[in-house]
Amino acid sequence: MNFNDRIEFAKRIRNTFSRFHIRHPSSRLSQGTKGTSSKPDSSSDDSSSDDARQLHQKIQLLSITLQAKFQKTKEVSLLRSAIDLQRRLPSLLPKDDKTHVFDLCNLASQLGQLFEATNDENTLNEAIRVARQCLSLASCEHPVYVQMQHWLSQLLGALYEKVGDTCALDEALTRITQLSSLEVKRFTIQELQQFYCTLARLVSMHYKCTGDLKTLSSATQPLRRAMEISLFEDPKLRLTLQGQLIEHSATIYVRTGKLEHLDVCIKDTQLGLKIASVHAPEMKGYMMYSQGKNFSKKYLRTMAIIDLNQAIKFTQEGLREMKEVSEKVLCVTSLSDLLVFRYQRTKQSCDLREALESSQTVFQNLSRHEPNYPLHAASVANTLLNRYKVTKDEADLETVDQLLRHTFGRIRNPSFRASAILIFISCQEEKQRLRPSMKDLEEAIHIAKHAVEITTDAHLNKGAHLTAYGRLLCRRYLMRKEKEDLLAATTSYVQAWNLKLMPPINRLKAGVQAFQLLIAASRLYHAIVLGIDIISLIPIISLQSYTWNDQEQVFSLLADTSSTLCSLLIYAGRPEEAIESLEHSRAVIIGQHLDNNSDISRLRRTNPAILKQYQDLVNEINYSNAHYCDLVADHGFMERFEAATSELEKCLQQIRNIPGLERFLLGQSIAHIQESAGEGTIVIVNISSYRSDALLISRAGVQSLHLNKLLWADAKTWVNKSWYSKKPSQQKDKNDELCLYLAWLWSVCVKDVIEAIVVKQGSNAVTLEKVWWIGSGLGTSMPFHAAGVCKEGSTDNAYAHLISSYTPSIKALVHARRKKGENDIKKSDFKEMLIVTMPTTPKGLNGRRLPDLSGVLGERDAITKEVKKLSTVRITDLPYPSVNSVLHSLKKCSIAHFACHGISNPSDPSSSALILQCAAAGMANTDNVIQDKLTVKHIAQLQFEHAQLAYLSACSTAHITDIQLSNEVIHLVSGFQAAGFCHVIGTLWPIGDMDSIDIATGFYSHLLDSNQGPVSSNTMDAASALHHAVAAVRAVDPEAPLRWAPFVHFGA
């Protein structure tokens, strides 16, 4: 109890004495020595009893008076005198006198006060003994039972703190818990307040001693109930107890990794902030800082930018409220780190600038002897290192080097020290790129190796240390070419991959590096095993909380891995596994949207509870250790991580036992893949640095075709060429070069594929075979549909033998097939058609204006005439629309035709867009318009119920710009596929106005005409319509492939 509690307690005892004045007419006055008593004297019995009781009352009053004086003066001698008097009281009255309970109660209280004043262990033990004696005489109904049980709990807690007696702590917790079973009416408000304060304190002590979460959780609930019914009228006491609640929920979150406990902590902190704002403004800054820390933990779990923004906002506000430099240090350090996080996500230089300005302002006024100086220095170093990566200012790099050399050895927290070591290693890597030095490299390797050696596998920075060590060894291998470095680097990355405590995304990065090094070391069998394991990790990587840009960064790692693994499996004679591995690792980003619209949506409808369980477990496994602060994951944490992993496996199995969800979030099995080919053939062309192959998939089986003339170096040369010509005079040269490319592609690949199909299918010359092309590796962006000799009359070309379509993956093809089956394209199905036109385009943010599209209106008129001639479809003409108006119209239409500019973004493929327009901010009239972009990431996240066909008559709508993301097939066409369009017409390169009109008119004419020529019965669709429209233009001008080769069909 604190000082005020003691006064209240003493008053309570005095009041109790006054209420219970008890007379014992038959009692005898005890004599002074132990084991003896006075002989009965009947004549003086009543008078002796009254005299003894009067003396008892006088001594009692004197003792309480001395105790009260002590509380005012803090003179220990007064309290000792009070205790001496109090010790005499039991001997003045008979042993069975009910007053003894009160005497012992008051003595225990005084001894407790003396212990607090002197910290004497003997005094504490006597206080505990007296309190136990008191409770042995008092039933649970006795007036002092509640106070004494509570007081004994506090004394036992003090004994644990004093000598570490865990039995005393267990007894204290048992006794305080027993009080919670009593009726509330037994307590006064003050008693309840004291009870809950003690309960919270003892529970915290017990948790720190045993790590028992059950105790912590069970005690949190009554404390929370007390807060909810507003028992704590004192605002500062209420804030103290709210702080205990925050600490409890934060601790439970750290131990369990369950996000709901962090959400509770955020809610508790918000209430604490509200109390502090009114009643304890000096605590407001700290509470805001604490809320910022909560949201930063949540960001590390969800990777949601909104949580990061909240973390920054609260930390900034907390910093503004803080007055003293010593208060600001940790807050500024946290803010700086958060701003760097956001800079790394958004690349907004203002975040980096603010991080540096705020941290340097405090850092310059911070004494080197300040305990948190090294930690703040490391934070400044991290910010400077990120700035160097932008500005390449060598002065920043040198400052980072010096700061870390002088400070990271002084950082006491092992986890923070490990992080500082990683920053130092990153600094050394930058120095090596700038100016290679074997001496500096050796130093960095030594430090990294030491970091690996001193950390166990349970160390949550172990994976980062291993990958850093592996990177440095790779650099030294490139400089010295010693095989030992290559083997050591490989071992380091493999060890990192095998760390189960690493978040899956970090394991993926380590695994990819290990895979590449195993191939470099010619350990192909081990590479295959590891590659398959890497691919199998993809389904448990949580993508839902990542931004699209983050997802692109993740899966850019897999581009080379998946195509190389495919080559290795084919080389090993395992073509079916090669197909499955590609299907699992291709178009993952687009595939998740298809899954959300199929597997996920189906599970959400049938069993939302198990879907939530699956998503919670995936998030827990992905981020459960990202927030962990201690050096080594404790036993409870590791148990929970292993349990979550096991629970996820069981959950997935449970989901896959549901009819229709047997392949939940998995690629198709070989049997399903073969069935997906229908009456045609799926052709996967895989081009890696190891070898090139074509995999032919049909209902009849799988065939592997080694393309030994298709060399990776040649393919890379062709793929990197641009077919855009700035001037009309360049068209002829571009066409000639493209003719060479198409002839080369025919001779090294497509010709062999066609011959294999004809032999396998037993086809005749009249029938055009349906083929779905899937490119892998460098093959992703190749124009297989247009390959051939560009000469009049020649049949050495794909158009003469095939009706070609493309698909990002077999999963996407199955999805398109399913959608097509629900509402096949026929004349009677055409209800609504949307035509979007942009003859002119407003300026962009850079002030540049795109050229006018003079043929757009002619294209619209030609299409409208053709469609109305052959069908009764209703046409909606939407000129100069905004993105919102287009999206609204797409909800009602079956066919959408866009005639506008399209742009491809090489650095951010998901930002590739169709260019529309909208009114400038604050402007209602159409004279002030700006560009409005319908991006891939926007359209792909939508779903249109009636969508069937999208015709994107714009430049480069099917162009893959980033070779590192080639296997993800991110472009406008795949975005429309993900939105539900089972047929999408797009373009590989820029297209001309007149060619667009001719192709579009021919396409709709063939689409709506029942007589489409000599084609198989299954090809009466958009693919065959485009084939005939393009073939007609090609027949007129075969040596100008820029006119007809760009047009491609994606879908069913």
- Mean per-residue pLDDT, 990-1003: 91
Mean pLDDT of 322-348: 82
- pLDDT, position 14: 45
Q: What is the pLDDT of residue 6?
A: 45
Q: What's the average model confidence in pLDDT over 548-568?
A: 75
Q: How many Cα atoms occupy the beta-carbon half-sphere of 205 within 13 Å?
A: 25
Distance CA 858, CA 843 (A): 23
User: For residue 553, what pLDDT is reported?
Assistant: 62
Q: Which long-range contacts (CB under 8 A, 24 or more apart) does 640-646 make?
A: 640/255, 640/256, 640/257, 641/257, 641/500, 641/501, 642/500, 644/257, 644/617, 644/620, 645/500, 645/621
Distance between CA atoms of residues 457 and 451, nearest Å:
12
- What span, in angstroms and rounded, lies between the C-alpha atoms of 1000 and 857? 13
Question: How confident is residue 383, by pLDDT bands cut at 50, 70 and 90?
Answer: confident
Side-by-side strand order, sheet with 949-953? 701-706, 692-698, 681-687, 769-777, 802-806, 1047-1051, 983-987, 949-953, 895-899, 832-837, 874-879
Given a contact cutoff of 8 angstroms between Cβ atoms, the answer to whether 300 and 627 are in contact is: yes
Q: What is the CATH number of domain 820-1010+1018-1051?
A: 3.40.50.1460
Q: How many Å apart are CA 131 and CA 106, to the nearest integer?
A: 9
Residue 202 has pLDDT above 50, yes or no: yes
- In angstroms, what is the C-alpha Rg of the chain? 39
Scan for tokens 């095998």, then name that residue: 498
Please give the structure tokens belonging to residue 136.
């042995």
The tens digit of pLDDT for each residue in 472-529 reads 999 999 999 999 999 999 999 999 999 877 777 788 889 999 999 999 999 999 999 9
pLDDT value of position 343: 86
Task: Pick from 95-109, 199-213, 777-791 the range whose average pLDDT is largest.
Answer: 777-791
The domains of the chain are located at 251-322, 324-412, 670-806, 820-1010+1018-1051
Backbone angles phi, psi at 494, to 5 degrees: -65, -40
Could you tell me the two tokens for 759?
């032999």
Q: Answer whether residue 1044 shows pLDDT above 90.
A: yes
Mean pLDDT confidence for 962-973? 70
SS3 content of the chain, % helix, strand, coil (to 5): 65, 10, 25
Distance CA 611, CA 138 (A): 56
User: What's the pLDDT at 629?
Assistant: 41
- Contacts of residue 11, defined as CB under 8 A and 6 or more positions apart, other chains included, come to none
- Most confident stretch, 246-255, 482-491, 809-818, 823-832: 482-491
Residue with the bigger pLDDT between 993 and 819: it is 993
Contacts (Cβ under 8 Å, ≥6 apart) of 453: none
- Whether the per-residue pLDDT at 141 is higher than 60: the answer is yes
- Mean pLDDT score of the chain: 81
Tokens of 455: 């950390």
Supply the pLDDT for residue 42.
Answer: 44
Of 775, 787, 791, nearest in space to 745 by CA = 787
What mean pLDDT is predicted for residues 448-454? Answer: 87
Q: What percent of the chain has pLDDT over 90?
A: 31
Identify any residues that bridge with 1048 across adjacent strands, giving them in sequence order: 986
What's this model's pTM, rounded to 2 decimal places? 0.70
pLDDT band, very low/low/confident/very high, at 228 (cuts 50, 70, 90): low
pLDDT recorded at residue 1: 45
Mean pLDDT computed over 224-243: 69
pLDDT at position 854 is 86
Which ranges of 802-890 would DSSP assign to H, the alpha helix? Answer: 810-822, 856-870, 883-890
Residue 207: the pLDDT is 74
pLDDT of 886: 94
986 within 8 A of 952, measured Cβ to Cβ: yes
d(CA 345, CA 323): 31
Banded model confidence at residue 139, pLDDT cuts 50, 70, 90: confident
The pLDDT of residue 33: 29
pLDDT tens digits, one per residue of 696-738: 999 889 999 999 999 999 999 999 888 887 777 788 889 999 9
The pLDDT of residue 820 is 65
User: Dihedral angle at the C-alpha atoms of 83, 89, 95, 101, nearest 10 degrees?
Assistant: -60
Q: Is the pLDDT of residue 1035 over 90?
A: yes
Reply yes or no on whether the pLDDT at 846 is more than 80: no
- Any bridge partners for residue 220, and if so which? none
Per-residue confidence (pLDDT) for residue 184, from 0 to 100: 57
- Percent of all residues in the chain with a pLDDT value above 70, rounded to a whole number: 82
